[in-house]
Amino acid sequence: MKPSMPRFKAIRLSPLLYLLYSTGVFAQHDAPPVPVPVPAPAPALAPASVEISATRDRARQQDTAAMTVIRRDELLRFGDQSVADALKRVPGITVGGVQGRGGEIRMRGLGNGYTRVLLDGQPAPSGFAIESISPDQIERVEVQRVATADSGAQAIAGTINIVLRKASAKPEREFKAALSLAHDRATAELNGQFSGQFDRVNASLGVVAVDARAAIASTDRESGFDAAGGVILDRSSRSRQDEHRPTINLTPRLVWTLPNGDTLTSQNFLRFLALDMRTRNSERTALGEPTSFPDNSAQFRAHTRTQRSDLLWLHQMEQGARLEVQLGLSRFRRRATNDFEGAAVDPSDNVSRIVDSTAKEDNWSLTGKWTIGTLAPLLGHALVAGWDAARGERTETRFELMHEVSTARLARLALYLQDDWTVTPALSLSLGARYEAFHIDSSGNVLDTVKRRLYAGGPLLQARLKTSQDGQVRLGLTRTFKLPTLARLSMRRYTVDNNNSPLTPDEQGNAALLPERAWGLDLAYEHYFSKSAMLSASVYARRIDDVTVARIEQRAASWVQTPVNAGRADTRGIELEGKSTLAGFELRANAARNWSRIDSLPSPGNRLPDQAPFSAGAGVDRRIDGWPLTLSANLTIQGGAQSRYAERILVTGATQRELNLAALWRVDARSSWRLSASNLLAQRNDSTAQFRDAAGSLRSLTATPTWTTLRLAYERKM
């Protein structure tokens, strides 16, 4: 029997209040859940919810869901080669990997699928790396720390939506040429943006061609100990990797205005990459057994194609109502060859190994959103209902001694309902519910077939209360989840060429992985002193069930790593942000502290993998009076995390400090020069990994030098 609903006399009840009060949460069963009149994921990150004509902070102040919008001029300020480099200056966002080289974008210190990355409101295609897209191709980036029903619930840490450049209302021609130098490698870049109006068609095309070259060197020291602590292994190695990575990105967009006022929009992202990566390793073992191939080299060559295409139909109705239907296609193709040459201690054991592999992934989606505007004048509500259906399939092949094929399929259907409710001029609510159903199928010619059904859903609530003319409090309560990728569901094994060990194991997916499910609570206070000055303080907490960890085990003569679900985890943190203008200087600063704990792993280090324990940043911009010159500086610090990838493996990352400088010289109204220097501190990145069991322990220390990157770009508007 359902509990009775309390009565409220002071305010009108939202149509969703009873639903949120009475429904359950996230379910996982092999049978259908109890039907609920509310449901699922929406296509885009509510593109109409933020009016960019206002300042970034004003739009954020007025948005119930606290969306932060990073405009195009902010993304281009430091002349970054990739959007990943630009986003690491945004409060609460960190970048994984070695400093100065880009990497995975993380919110609340969490990557690995906890942070959802969208491209024009849709899931980014397979093979898409956020560091591969140039800021010149982007209109804006929307950062949403709290999930909403229409933007999607697959965002435990938050959502980053990359909105590609739109066609201009008038003909536009832009050109940019840039040259970057890091250590002894140069990278050339050409960038063009073209748009025009043709009768009822508005068209634009963005082109970015990059000829990237990089050299990466590292040293590694391995030490092994027996159960009594005696040294049984002492090995050192040097590695050098040379990369040549020519890439072409295309972003064609067409907008048709139909005679009845409807619009059809075709938005596309195309990426073509040819990768040539050569690696040389040299090992010396002072104590213990050497690896199978102490001196070895490998050449990995790959050609990849990534495509994301969306066709959106927008129909405007009376009293502000509208209907959006979007058909999406995402495709990824990779063909690769890895040539491995291994020199053994005994020359008769030398090997020459060639592995050919392919990867193919296709994803289809059909989404719809109905914005109901007729209730708003009468009840103060703006209702949004929608659906999100998708189907994806990934097939991988590997040919060495035998032909292996593995396929993973994922079908998804989501339904959702959201009510944006202006209760009073001071209080606004966004109440929603979202339910999703999944069907997973994994099979292969050397693997068992696995089929499963899963269900997910729950309420999402955001509230904004103005405490004064310039101050306000925000509250968010969410039910979110993290779905395994098709690559992690595929049971194909990725093998290492040499030195298979607990610290360098083979990797294999797990078709039995469950989604990670989280309850989330967010609380923030913001104060806006002026258009250019504000302070914000926020806290968050997440309780995650079925958290995924790595299981390391020995199978026959090989160590294998497999992702598995391992119970509950908790994470919480605090974030501070401030900005102001003083004596002509634009100042900004931010800091964050994150904690987490995985119950099933022993301490120390039983935190979520790679989560930065703290991060901080400070920046300043100054336009020089009387000169067409603007100077910018930014310093970011990211704490090194100590975490367990598995029960017996403890990994410690390096604290990273990165200083960037930039200068913009405007030659005239149409052209400018931009000089930037990134990673000026050029600190070495040191990391350690340790495995321990009853027989002893194995420890590895890796030192990776980094270099400053200088970049000079000429920009011209035709």
Q: Where are the domains of the chain?
A: 24-717
Instruction: Give the Cα-Cα-Cα angle 363, 366, 370 (nearest 5 degrees).
Output: 150
**In the block, residue with structure tokens 């093979």:** 127
**Rounded distance, CA 199 to CA 583, Å?**
49
Are 153 and 116 in contact, with CB atoms under 8 Å apart? no
**Rounded distance, CA 238 to CA 280, Å?**
8
Asked if the model's pLDDT at residue 701 lies above 60, the reply is: yes
Cβ atoms < 10 Å from Cβ of 439: 14
Asked if the model's pLDDT at residue 20 lies above 50, the reply is: no
pLDDT in tens, 103-141: 788 899 888 789 998 888 888 877 677 777 888 888 889
> What is the chain's mean pLDDT, rounded?
85
Return the pLDDT at 49. 35
* Sheet with 138-144, edge to edge strand ranges: 67-71, 138-144, 158-164, 115-119, 122-123
SS3 194: strand
Q: How many residues does the chain have?
A: 718
**Rounded distance, CA 421 to CA 416, Å?**
16
**Rounded distance, CA 114 to CA 640, Å?**
19
44-58 core/surface letters (b: 16 or more CB in 10 A; e: else): bbbeebbeeeeebbe
Q: In this structure, which CATH number among 3.90.1150.10, 3.30.420.10, 2.40.170.20, 2.40.50.100 belongs to the domain 24-717?
A: 2.40.170.20
Region 639-647: mean pLDDT is 88
Are 639 and 604 in contact, with CB atoms under 8 Å apart? no
List the beta bridge partners of residue 598. 569
Region 534-552: mean pLDDT is 95
List the beta bridge partners of residue 501. 504
% of the chain surpassing 90 pLDDT: 58
Region 371-391: mean pLDDT is 78
Return the pLDDT at 121. 86
Are 78 and 676 in contact, with CB atoms under 8 Å apart? yes
Return the pLDDT at 15. 37
Instruction: Say which DSSP state 467 is in.
Output: S
Which candidate, 476, 433, 429, 412, places its Cα nearest to that of 24? 433
Region 563-573: mean pLDDT is 95
Mean pLDDT is lowest, of 21-35, 399-413, 556-570, 667-681, for 21-35
Q: Which residue has the higher pLDDT, 53 or 463?
A: 463
Instruction: At 54, list the tokens.
Output: 């206002």
Q: Which residue has the higher pLDDT, 47 or 430?
A: 430
Q: For the whole model, what pTM was predicted?
A: 0.84
**Rounded distance, CA 576 to CA 589, Å?**
8
% of the chain surpassing 70 pLDDT: 89
Q: How would DSSP label each residue in 127-138?
A: T--GGGS-GGGE
163-183 core/surface letters (b: 16 or more CB in 10 A; e: else): bbbbbbeeeeebbbebebebe
Instruction: At 628, list the tokens.
Output: 């067409």
**Rounded distance, CA 103 to CA 119, Å?**
17
**In the block, residue with structure tokens 């704490």:** 639
pLDDT in tens, 165-215: 876 667 789 999 999 998 888 999 999 999 888 888 999 999 999 999 999
Instruction: At 591, list the tokens.
Output: 């800091």
Q: How would DSSP label each residue in 32-54?
A: PPPP-S-----SSS-GGGS-TTS
**Rounded distance, CA 365 to CA 389, Å?**
6
Region 445-453: mean pLDDT is 71
Q: How would DSSP label each residue in 98-111?
A: STTS---EEETTB-
Region 220-231: mean pLDDT is 94
Return the pLDDT at 55. 56
pLDDT in tens, 21-63: 333 333 333 333 333 333 333 333 433 333 333 455 666 777 7
Asked if the model's pLDDT at residue 577 lies above 60, the reply is: yes
Return the pLDDT at 334. 94
Instruction: At 608, list the tokens.
Output: 């979520």
**Rounded distance, CA 175 to CA 229, Å?**
63
**Rounded distance, CA 665 to CA 645, Å?**
47
**In the block, residue with structure tokens 């009565």:** 7
